[in-house]
């Protein structure tokens, strides 16, 4: 496809290529309430015309980023040039109304200082269309905007909920520069904007219910990019809890999203955790072996602190063997390693696949400190630990293959999180129950965790009885394991307790 043909396709839903795309920061009461701030006057930013996309198109989430957020909006398209127009006459200069999606990458927002040049200027970050509604045929105070993600309604609001009426935006902007035919004004998004991931499909529709007119659904599919940002040229992606909360919609929404799987299937309840804290790994291993599971130990790792007991669910992080070109594309910026430590939840254990390669560190003191601050139950790596003494001083439980002073890039490339991995010779899946002590670390399938814990506790009681009898001078023959006679004695003893 030639560049001219490509441009024709990109701007096919518009009168032509817009000279300007102006977007407002905050305009709906519902969004202002969600953000906890209400502007006294509208404020704006520009988006490049190269960011325009079409219905049925895609948007790429760049490698090394996590916070791509959708914002369903009403787009106004100027029909006639206007300069310094009064609010009462402003709407007559709007030619068309349609749907738009003001996508933004919150990973880049902190360094844009409100300009949103990089965070909202990417190719395809402003899909518009598909149908233009004649502005003369609709009431600007009675428009509706709705957004769906994978078929589920995420946003639903009307222009009655605007802080600043649509005509005010046109009049205000015309005070400062000429609005030309084809210029686009993105009029803000209501509450409900949130993060989308590769594979998600976002649809936006603007309609006039009273007139039965609709823009049709503007459809965009999110894809995963492979190219990452070059830190030698400019700022790299970076997020914190504030950016996450704003991208997801609120701090509560962030927590709900991160813990949604645990909420749907709370495998590791406080009661189960308490049971597993009482049972030695050796006892759990025996019970799993009885159920045909022998390949469930993470071999070659030892606790950093003697006497450590660790119980939690697996948050997985995968490293692949070091390769210079892959480290250049995946090792810098907000890479998989940093994302894992930033996203680990309360009672989760970060389990790292390092292929048993101990020739470099797989974490250091800063990341260990972040995991502790997040409430992680611990860290397990079949690779090395850098800043070993500093990590030990932080106090978070760590099981590793030992210490090594080298940085990650010597042997590893951080590749992916929340995937099935191999650690210490066994397979670990996200959400597996992990228990570790001085004997080692074991992986328990979640569906078996309660059953295995109860059986191991029962076996612990039996073993305690046997130990008591041996200490009293009884021979182990017939007692360990118990024959029928000793089993009857044990049952009678247990009934009295």
HEC readout, 163-217: CCCHHHHHHHHHCCCCECCCCEEECCCCCCCCEECCCCEEEEEEEECCCCEECCC
> With b meaning 16 or more CB within 10 Å and e meaning fewer, what string describes 52-87?
bbbbebebbbbbbbbbbbbbbbbbbbbbeebeebee
Q: What is the pLDDT of residue 250?
A: 60
Q: What is the pLDDT of residue 13?
A: 82
Q: What is the pLDDT of residue 254?
A: 53
Q: What is the CATH number of domain 267-447?
A: 3.50.30.40
Query: In angstroms, rounded to a whole number, what is the distance separating the alpha carbons of residues 441 and 435?
Result: 6
Tokens of 467: 């130990």
Task: Give every CB contact of residue 85 below 8 A, 6+ residues apart in sequence.
Answer: 93, 170, 171, 174
Task: Give every CB contact of residue 364 below 8 A, 6+ residues apart in sequence.
Answer: 385, 386, 387, 390, 391
In angstroms, the Cα distances linking 276 to 78, 287, 436, 439, 456 are: 66, 13, 10, 14, 9
Query: In angstroms, rounded to a whole number, what is the distance separating the alpha carbons of residues 197 and 211?
Result: 35
| Domain edges within the chain | 3-255, 267-447, 451-495
H-state helical runs in 331-448: 336-343, 365-373, 388-394
Q: How many CA atoms lie within 13 A of 200 on its CB side?
A: 18
Query: In angstroms, rounded to a whole number, what is the distance separating the alpha carbons of residues 347 and 270?
Result: 10
Task: Give every CB contact of residue 117 below 8 A, 6+ residues apart in sequence.
Answer: none
Report the top-level CATH class of 3-255: alpha beta
* Three-class SS state of 419: coil
H-state helical runs in 204-332: 241-248, 251-258, 260-264, 270-278, 281-290, 324-330
| DSSP bridge partners of 162 | 28
H-state helical runs in 331-375: 336-343, 365-373
In angstroms, the Cα distances linking 469 to 82, 363, 483, 496 are: 97, 47, 14, 16
Q: What is the pLDDT of residue 6?
A: 62
| Fold match flag (3-255 vs 267-447) | no
Query: In angstroms, rounded to a whole number, what is the distance separating the alpha carbons of residues 129 and 220?
Result: 11
Note whether 362 and 412 are within 8 A (CB): yes
Query: In angstroms, rounded to a whole number, what is the distance separating the alpha carbons of residues 314 and 404?
Result: 24
Q: What is the pLDDT of residue 7?
A: 58
| DSSP bridge partners of 133 | 97
The DSSP bridge pattern shows strands 398-400 and 94-101 to be unpaired
Task: Give every CB contact of residue 292 below 8 A, 6+ residues apart in sequence.
Answer: none
Average model confidence (pLDDT) across the chain: 88
- Give the chain's residues under pLDDT 50: 1-5, 252, 255-256, 258-265
Q: What is the pLDDT of residue 343?
A: 86
Question: In terms of Cα–Cα distance, which of 137, 156, 173 is closest to 45?
Answer: 173
Element (H, E) at 404: none
């Amino acid at each position: 496809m030639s560049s001219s043909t490509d441009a024709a396709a990109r701007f096919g839903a518009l009168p032509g290529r817009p000279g300007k795309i102006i977007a407002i920061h905050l305009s709906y009461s519902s969004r202002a309430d969600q953000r906890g701030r209400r502007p006294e006057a509208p404020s704006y930013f520009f988006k490049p015309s190269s960011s325009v996309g079409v219905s049925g198109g895609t948007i790429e989430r760049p490698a090394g980023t996590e916070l791509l957020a959708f914002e369903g909006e009403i787009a106004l398209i100027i029909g006639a040039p206007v300069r310094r127009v009064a609010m009462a006459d402003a709407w007559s200069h709007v030619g068309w109304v349609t749907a738009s999606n003001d996508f933004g990458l919150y990973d880049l927002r902190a360094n844009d200082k409100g300009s949103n040049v990089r965070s909202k200027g990417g190719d395809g970050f402003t899909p518009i269309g598909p149908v233009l509604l004649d502005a003369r045929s609709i009431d600007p105070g009675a428009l509706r905007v709705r957004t769906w993600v994978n078929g589920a309604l995420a946003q639903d609001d009307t222009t009655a909920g605007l802080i600043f009426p649509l005509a005010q935006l046109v009049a205000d902007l015309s005070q400062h520069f000429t609005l030309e035919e084809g210029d686009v004004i993105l009029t803000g998004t209501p509450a409900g904007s949130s993060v989308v991931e590769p594979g998600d499909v976002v649809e936006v529709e603007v309609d006039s219910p009273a007139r039965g007119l609709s823009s049709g659904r503007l459809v965009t599919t999110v894809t995963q990019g492979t190219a990452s940002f070059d830190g030698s040229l400019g700022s790299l992606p970076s997020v914190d809890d504030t950016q996450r909360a704003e991208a997801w919609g609120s701090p509560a929404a962030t927590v709900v999203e991160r813990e949604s799987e645990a909420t749907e299937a709370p495998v590791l309840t406080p009661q189960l955790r308490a049971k597993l804290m009482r049972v030695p790994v050796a006892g759990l291993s025996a019970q799993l072996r009885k159920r045909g599971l022998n390949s469930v130990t993470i071999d070659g790792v030892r606790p950093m602190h003697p006497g450590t007991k660790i119980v939690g669910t697996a948050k997985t992080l995968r490293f692949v063997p070091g390769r210079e070109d892959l480290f250049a594309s995946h090792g810098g910026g907000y890479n998989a390693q940093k994302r894992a430590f930033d996203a680990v939840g309360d009672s989760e254990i970060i389990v790292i696949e390092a292929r048993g390669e101990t020739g470099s560190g797989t974490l250091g003191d800063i990341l260990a400190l972040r995991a502790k601050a997040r409430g992680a139950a611990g860290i397990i790596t079949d690779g090395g630990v850098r800043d070993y003494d500093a990590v030990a001083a932080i106090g978070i439980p760590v099981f590793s293959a030992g210490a090594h002073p080298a940085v990650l890039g010597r042997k590893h490339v951080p590749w992916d999180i929340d995937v099935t991995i191999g650690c210490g010779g066994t397979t670990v899946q996200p959400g597996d129950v992990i228990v570790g002590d001085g004997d080692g670390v074991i992986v328990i399938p979640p569906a078996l965790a309660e059953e295995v814990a109860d059986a191991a506790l029962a076996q612990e009681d039996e073993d305690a009885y046997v130990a008591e009898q041996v200490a009293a001078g009884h021979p182990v023959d017939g007692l360990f394991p118990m024959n029928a006679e000793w089993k009857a004695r044990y049952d009678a003893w247990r009934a009295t307790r």
